[in-house]
């Protein structure tokens, strides 16, 4: 009982640390720009996707939502500052999409029956990506046409806000999925566990299938 209680406290502490960490990483990621040709991109999507994969749907979305809330109350965590007026920025829809995408990514991750393989991790990451871009493009269209008075058509929005912008984020989705799978492999080796279950797994995270079929390790 004491060991179980200690493990529960350790898990809660770890989850709290990870929650705050992903909120901070999402803020930092806004200012890390990858200078690729045509359309540079930031690392925000990498961190919001990992938030969904690692923390699960509810906590992952909440960690990203906390970042958005901090920006709206005036903390300068957005690329152009912060404050409630930021909701009128054309790109604010992407911030909403980050939270929604993290939730969907985590939800798909949680839906794995038994083990979660690389295919499911990629599917979860790409689904979250589509949600981010859907929110972003719709918001850009609405703000420009009905608030800023700078009409823009559907095709230009799709071209500039998706076709030209998505390649870099696709790479980030792959990186997030591979990083999550690799994390489970390393944890299993470190904890010297065997079988399809690898000790206390936080809500939403299924064991990674790369372990399945590996030789059993004796407990010390």
Instruction: Tell me whether residue 217 is in a domain.
Output: no
Instruction: Tell me whether residue 10 is in a domain.
Output: no
Q: Encoding tokens for residue 158?
A: 């799709």
Instruction: Tell me whether residue 11 is in a domain.
Output: no
- What torsion, rounded to 10 degrees, do the Cα atoms 9, 108, 50, 206 define? 50
Question: Rg for the chain (alpha carbons), in Å?
Answer: 19
Q: How many domains does the chain have?
A: 1
Over the stretch 132-178, which tens digit does the pLDDT of each residue have? 999 999 999 999 999 999 999 999 999 999 999 999 999 999 999 99
Whether the full predicted model's pTM is greater than 0.75, yes or no, is yes
Q: Encoding tokens for residue 32?
A: 């890390």
Instruction: Tell me whether residue 204 is in a domain.
Output: no
Instruction: Tell me whether residue 197 is in a domain.
Output: no
On whether the CB atoms of residues 190 and 217 are closer than 8 A, the answer is no
Residues 6+ apart with CB under 8 A from 16: none
Instruction: Tell me whether residue 41 is in a domain.
Output: yes
d(CA 160, CA 129): 16
Instruction: Tell me whether residue 211 is in a domain.
Output: no
143: domain CATH number? 1.10.1760.20
| Domain carrying residue 107 | 21-180
Contacts 24+ apart (CB under 8 A), 6-9: 7/200
Over the stretch 8-30, which tens digit does the pLDDT of each residue have? 777 788 889 999 999 999 999 99
Mean pLDDT of 88-106: 96
Instruction: Tell me whether residue 99 is in a domain.
Output: yes
């Amino acid at each position: 009982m004491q060991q179980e209680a200690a493990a529960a406290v350790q898990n809660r502490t770890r989850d709290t640390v990870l929650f705050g960490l992903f909120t901070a990483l999402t803020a930092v990621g806004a200012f890390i720009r990858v200078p690729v040709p045509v359309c540079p991109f930031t690392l925000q999507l990498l961190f919001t996707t990992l938030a969904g994969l690692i923390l699960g749907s509810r906590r992952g979305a909440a960690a990203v939502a906390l970042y958005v809330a901090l920006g709206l109350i005036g903390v300068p965590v957005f690329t152009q500052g912060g404050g409630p007026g930021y909701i009128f920025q054309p790109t604010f829809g992407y911030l909403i999409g980050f939270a929604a995408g993290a939730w969907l990514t985590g939800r798909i991750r949680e839906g794995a029956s038994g083990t979660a393989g690389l295919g499911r991790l990629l599917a979860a990451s790409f689904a979250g990506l589509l949600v981010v871009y859907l929110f972003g493009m719709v918001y850009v269209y609405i703000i420009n046409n009905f608030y800023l008075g700078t009409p823009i058509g559907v095709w230009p929005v799709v071209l500039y806000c998706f076709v030209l912008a998505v390649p870099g984020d696709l790479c980030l989705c792959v990186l997030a999925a591979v990083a999550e799978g690799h994390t489970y492999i390393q944890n299993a080796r470190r904890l010297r566990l065997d079988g399809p279950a690898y000790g206390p797994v936080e809500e939403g995270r299924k064991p990674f299938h790369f372990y399945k079929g590996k030789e059993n390790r004796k407990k010390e």
